[in-house]
Amino acid sequence: MKPAAIVALIAAALFGATTASAEAPQDIQAAYAAQAGAGFTASAQRGRTLFTTRHGVSADFPACTQCHGTDLAAAGKHAITSKQIEPMAVRANPQRFTDAAKTEKWFRRNCREVVGRECSAAEKADVIAFLRAGS
Amino acid sequence: MKTTLLFGALLAATLAAPAQAGSVTLPSGAPPVWKSECSSCHVAYPPQLLAKQGWQNVMNGLQKHFGSDASLAPADAKTILAFLERNAAPDGDRFDAASGRITDTRWYGRKHHEIPSSAFRSADVKSAANCQACHEGADKGRFSEHALTAVGRRFED
């Protein structure tokens, strides 16, 4: 075995179990797009609509922008606890959408809360396309 | 003084120490998932600040966690609950709160009785859940009245 391969194996053993493998936002978006079915193309415009619409299901969290703000390159603020939320725009925060499991977890929680139901794979792809814009 | 009395007094002093000092030491060996999950929306509250039953109630109601969906993958929830139970305050004392709110414990009430409710509603604080608005080292378990932020100092006495 070549030394480089050994190093890679050791690195994988050391970091693989505890840290999520770094994924790329475009790949996570593509995976949702594939789930949405053949012929689907993600739309940043539809993503913007979903993200900025006042769904009004929850009094505390009527829209995504309630916590994430309207300037997506700036930090947001949790509507209840006031804890700072790092920017959603990939261009401002390269950590966004680099962990598929984390992405899925927050879509599940926040769509239930804000939209009142889980989002479809198509909607998730659209929102990521919107938040990747300009990156 | 009888030995038992002395022992009792010493024990009481030892037990009271963390709360009196206003600080707790975050338990070593905290699972990373506790930190990452429990500090996404607020500081990860130290396990010692709530009794076991309170934490169990919190972890059983994550789908509606004080008005937010904080549901977790079952494996993560199990890991976190085990850690909380291991380090929780004992049931039946001043860290009891069936609601799961640390702010409902007798300990919290006594520590904050002089703070007007308007302070918690102010724009700088917004919620009693926002410990770090007033307590500089809240994320490290430091709640001493000698380590307050500018906002915290404003509301002191």
Q: B52: which residues sit within 8 A by CB, 6+ positions away?
A: B84, B85, B88, B89, B90, B91
CATH number at residue A47: 1.10.760.10
Structure confidence at residue A135 (pLDDT): 72
C-alpha distance from residue B62 to each of A5, A6, A15, A104, B82 (Å): 43, 42, 29, 17, 15
Q: Specify if A110 maps to a domain.
A: yes
- When divided into structural domains, chain A yields a total of 1
CB contact under 8 A, B126 and A110: no
The reply to whether A108 touches chain B by the CB within 8 Å rule is yes
**B27-100, CATH topology level:** Cytochrome Bc1 Complex; Chain D, domain 2 (1.10.760)
Instruction: Please give, rounded to a whole number of angstroms, the shortest distance from the CA of A86 to a CA of chain B.
Output: 10
Q: Specify if A16 maps to a domain.
A: no
Q: What ipTM goes with this model? A: 0.73
pLDDT tens, position by position, A58-97: 999 999 999 999 999 999 999 988 899 999 999 999 999 9
Both structure tokens of B147:
């380590």
CB contact under 8 A, B41 and A113: no
**Confidence class for position B6, pLDDT limits 50, 70, 90:** low
Q: Specify if A15 maps to a domain.
A: no
pLDDT tens, position by position, B64-104: 999 889 999 999 999 999 999 999 999 999 999 999 999 99
Q: Specify if A6 maps to a domain.
A: no
Domain ranges of chain B: 27-100, 112-157
Q: DSSP labels for A69-100?
A: -S-TTS-EE-TTT--EE----TTT-TTTT--H
Q: Determine the residue of chain B that is closest to A79 in CA distance.
A: B126
**Confidence class for position B4, pLDDT limits 50, 70, 90:** low
- Domain extent, residue A118, equals 22-132
Closest CA to B150 of B131, B130, B136, B138: B136
